[in-house]
Chain A
Amino acid sequence: MVWCPTLLAEGERGDEVREFLAVLTLVEAFCPWVGPASLGVCTLPARGPSRFFGGEAVLVEKLSVAVAEVLGTTEAVRVGVADGLFAALLAARAEVVVDPGGAAAFLAPWSTAVLRRPDLTVTLKRLGVHTLGQFAALGGREVSARFGSDAAACHRVARGEAGELAGLRDAGITRRLRVASGEVTEGPRQPGFFGGTSVADARAARSFARVQQRLGAEAVVVGRLRGGRGPAERARLVPWGSREVDPHADGAGAAPWPGRLPSPSPVAVLTAPVTTEVVDASARPVRVTGRGLLTADPARLSVGGGPWRDVVAFAGPWPVSERWWSTRRRQARLQVVVDGGAALLLTVERERWWMEASYD
């Protein structure tokens, strides 16, 4: 078992998958039957290679040196040998070699928390069972009757009778690695108009998948419409290929939303609105009263601490009072044209102005 603690979780750039692929290729030089269990964890049968290299300790030594060379640091790899996936994982983390048949004795001092069954661990602790050894000493039929089948599987693992435990293996790892290595370039599928995909669709999907590999899955997005009043509420950007179902999805925009901003809509909707200062002719901040009226005509504004620009025209405010039954939200929107001809959409909420979108 080879355990690479730095590669256990995939980052947004996907470097971990590529490094893990390099590790797998290297370990395959020792033994052809290398199986990735999850990202950063791979298993290989120890008996054959250890005979070849002259003992398990030598094999472990050779493996860790070789993998550390690939990853560039000795701390990023741990190798261990034991019977069964679960014991081998712990042996790798502890960097020990457990003799055949010695799995139960090796597991005995470990806390029951390593089973990663928090509920079971708490219950066992209350019963005075703290270690896997104590857990293994319980009767198998009693454990099964009292805690159910999953705990019974844990019990068999603690006794060294079984090696596999649900949750240890990542079912999607093989496919993920094949996609990352370019062997399968099929990206996530987006159904076409009639559910089918053409050659052009597949080609487009492959190019999107390649960008996703390079920049992260969230870098490639598609727009979806949903119901709402403001431009930010009416649309969402979701990663390409995401199967997420939006409960507020509103395909054709058919549902009536009284108070919705009229067309044309702003062509740039800021994902993070920018604080804006709006003042009147005598440089006093402009506010919107509780009745939805401006305290004064806006004369100048400054977006995000930028230069002051004269307001040429404005329309509104259009107050919106939403969700008065739960998260009471009162805001008002103002369309503004500044000198130079740029049009902006401002929102005021709790006496603070934000630039929500611009009409470029």
Chain B
Amino acid sequence: MFVSSPPGLASPPRGPSRPPAGQLPPHRRVLPPELVARARPVSSASARLLPLPAPLVPLFSDGALRRGATTLVTGGPGRGATTLALALLAAASTGSGWCGAVGLADPGVVAMVELGIDLRRVVFIPNPKAGWADAAAELLDGVDVVLVRPPGRARPTAARHLVARARERQVALVVLVDRAPEWPEGPDAALTVTAAEWHGIGRGHGHLRGRRAEVQVTGRRSAGRVITRTLWLPSGTGALAEAGVDGARPARVPATAPCPEPA
């Protein structure tokens, strides 16, 4: 049986042949390389973080999407929760990561490109039906970010299994539900779209130019602090943008207003 002792105490000075300070004691040099490789941390803290688009950085305590963590995105229909959830994938997909989206029934591909998602790095499983949890579990083995939209309320066992698997595989799990109780597990961070309003459209004039949305963040790591941010979700270009407190207007798009085709 081996009893390991702290490294400082393992080598009591042995007589006069002790090496001068700053030089490694000789017995430390003969550690087998396999052991060294095993003792080294598997990944550094920065490698466990996935980048986020700039407007979303202030929402997370790390300023990034943490691998192994679960992020819950909620908001009633039409408030932009889907846009927000997809935006979480954007920077990860352009940074050579792979993303998977399970249960997003009708993905709007053009909107995703506008959000900055690299289509070559994202796969969709739009209609997994009853197999959504299995499909998500398979994806957790292979990609860096998994976006899951459970059909209705998720079973507690399935949710717990996915969360544990995401932590074990070091994959960022993003869960999109209409209301928070539909996901029975406590997330590491919860993003809720509390209010949203479309700008640029009137009664018979203009066009949808941007949605000003209030996003509330609560999280396990933020220790009960609630952060509220106002975002353009999306802005006039289709990407996310920070909305200033003074209610800045969304970036104007170049005049591409639709006009009738000459028939």
Contact = CB atoms under 8 A, between A and B. Distances in A.
B151 to A, nearest CB: 14
A314 B258 contact: no
B201 interface: yes
B89 to A, nearest CB: 12
B250 to A, nearest CB: 9
Interface in B135-174: 135, 138-139, 141-144
Interface stretch (B4-12, B50-58, B106-114): B106-114
A173 B251 CA distance: 56
A314 B114 contact: no
A94 interface: no
A225 B135 contact: no
Contacts of A342: 77-79
A231 B108 CA distance: 7
B98 interface: yes
Interface in B118-142: 119-120, 122-128, 131, 134-135, 138-139, 141-142
Interface stretch (A46-54, A67-75, A159-167, A266-274): A266-274
Interface in B235-263: 235-238, 253, 256-261, 263
A220 interface: yes
Contacts of A214: 131, 134-135, 138
A268 B209 CA distance: 17
Given A190-B120, A219-B125, A268 B76 contact: no
Contact of A337 (B110, B111, B201): B201
A207 B139 CA distance: 6
B139 A211 contact: yes
B20 to A, nearest CB: 43
A321 to B, nearest CB: 4
A322 interface: yes
Interface stretch (B33-41, B64-72, B80-88, B223-231): B80-88
B263 to A, nearest CB: 4
Nearest to B82: A360
B220 interface: no
B203 interface: yes
Contact of B258 (A240, A260, A264, A270): A260
A11 B138 CA distance: 21
A222 B122 contact: yes
A262 B198 contact: no
Contacts of B82: 267-268, 360
Contact of B208 (A225, A269, A359): A359
A264 B235 contact: yes
Nearest to B262: A321
Contacts of B219: none
B221 interface: no
A132 to B, nearest CB: 47
Interface residues of B, number: 69
B175 interface: no
Contact of B98 (A193, A204, A260, A268): A204
Contact of B110 (A211, A231, A270, A324): A231
A189 interface: no
Nearest to B107: A223
Interface in A326-360: 330, 333, 335, 337-338, 340-343, 357-360
A-side binding surface: helix, strand, loop or mixed? mixed
Contacts of A210: 138, 141
Interface string A293-333: 01001000000000000000111101111101000001001
B125 A211 contact: yes
B55 to A, nearest CB: 14
A221 B119 CA distance: 11
Contact of B81 (A208, A211, A236, A360): A360
B107 A204 contact: no
User: In this complex, which of A210, A359, A360 has the most chain B Cβ atoms within 10 angstroms of its Cβ?
Assistant: A360
Contact of B207 (A240, A262, A341): A262
A208 B123 contact: yes
Given A208-B123, A237-B109, A269-B107, A263 B114 contact: yes
B234 interface: yes
B145 to A, nearest CB: 11
A268 B107 contact: yes
Given A313-B201, A315-B207, A266 B108 contact: yes
Given A231-B111, A263-B238, 15 more contacts: A207-B100, A214-B138, A222-B123, A236-B109, A253-B113, A259-B258, A268-B107, A269-B107, A313-B198, A313-B201, A314-B204, A340-B77, A340-B78, A359-B80, A360-B82
18 contacts: A193-B120, A203-B142, A210-B138, A210-B141, A211-B139, A219-B128, A220-B125, A222-B123, A222-B124, A223-B112, A225-B113, A264-B114, A264-B208, A264-B234, A265-B238, A269-B111, A316-B207, A318-B258
Interface of B: 76-83, 86, 96-98, 100, 104-114, 119-120, 122-128, 131, 134-135, 138-139, 141-144, 196-198, 201-211, 234-238, 253, 256-261, 263
Interface of A: 190, 193, 200-201, 203-208, 210-211, 214-215, 219-225, 229, 231, 234-237, 240, 253, 258-271, 292, 294, 297, 313-316, 318-322, 324, 330, 333, 335, 337-338, 340-343, 357-360
